[in-house]
């Protein structure tokens, strides 16, 4: 049965954040809110959690997992990014965007796209996520909480606990965060290609 954490959206309780991070560091898989719908999250390098996410979402080997990062300094450790792309991303970050970029050797191979050797990265605009990242000290391995055969992600913590009670270890609830996932922009070929239109305004990349 999944633990349920009720976290204040503007002023996350340090004790509760610490409990969630301890669970992540013990190999746990969480459902947590972002600035664009809920996501599944785990500690970087947690192979078991990666497999569990694939199972929950019925993902194939070509799926791009995402590293949710605290800031550009952290993001730059895990992806190769040139000045032009950096400026484009910087203009809309933090925000509801995921960017696909060539990965560095810091990214576990099992997370990479098998052919492109790319990975998704994002810096969200959400206080609870930043509190988790501050306490964790590294990015969160992440994937949008969109269940197989459903068109929209789940948006409420209690509903997620009801649906995934025996598939995740914890649900973090800080209120409704909306049904729309991130806008995904692929920079892996050196130019912007919009892969998914979502919460983030895609016009800067068109």
With 90 as the cut, is the pLDDT of residue 136 above it?
yes
Q: Starting at the earlier edge strand, list the strands of the sheet with 38-43.
A: 3-6, 170-173, 30-33, 38-43, 140-144, 66-68, 118-122, 97-102, 183-186, 193-196
Q: What is the pLDDT of residues 159-177, one digit of tens each?
A: 999 999 999 999 999 988 8
**What ranges do the domains of the chain cover?**
3-205
Pick the CATH number of 3-205 from 3.40.1160.10, 1.10.10.10, 3.90.870.10, 3.30.1490.20: 3.90.870.10
pLDDT at res. 95: 96
- Is this model's pTM higher than 0.85 or not? yes
């Amino acid at each position: 049965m999944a633990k349920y954490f009720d976290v204040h959206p503007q002023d996350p309780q340090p004790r509760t954040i610490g409990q969630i991070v301890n669970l992540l560091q013990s190999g746990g898989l969480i459902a947590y809110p972002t600035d664009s719908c809920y996501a599944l999250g785990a500690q970087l390098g947690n192979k078991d959690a990666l497999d569990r996410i694939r199972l929950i979402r019925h993902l194939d080997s070509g799926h791009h997992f995402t590293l949710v990062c605290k800031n550009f300094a952290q993001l730059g450790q895990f992806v190769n990014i040139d000045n032009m792309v950096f400026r484009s991303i910087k203009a809309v970050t933090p925000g509801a965007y995921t960017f696909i970029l060539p990965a560095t050797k810091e990214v576990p191979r099992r997370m990479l796209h098998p052919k492109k050797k790319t990975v998704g990265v994002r810096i969200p605009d959400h206080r609870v996520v930043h509190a988790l990242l501050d306490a964790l000290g590294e990015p969160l391995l992440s994937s949008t909480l969109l269940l197989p055969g459903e068109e929209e992600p789940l948006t409420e913590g209690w509903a997620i606990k009801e649906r995934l009670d025996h598939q995740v270890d914890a649900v973090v609830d800080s209120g409704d965060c909306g049904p729309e996932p991130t806008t995904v922009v692929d920079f892996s070929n050196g130019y912007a290609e919009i892969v998914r239109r979502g919460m983030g305004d895609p016009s800067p990349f068109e």
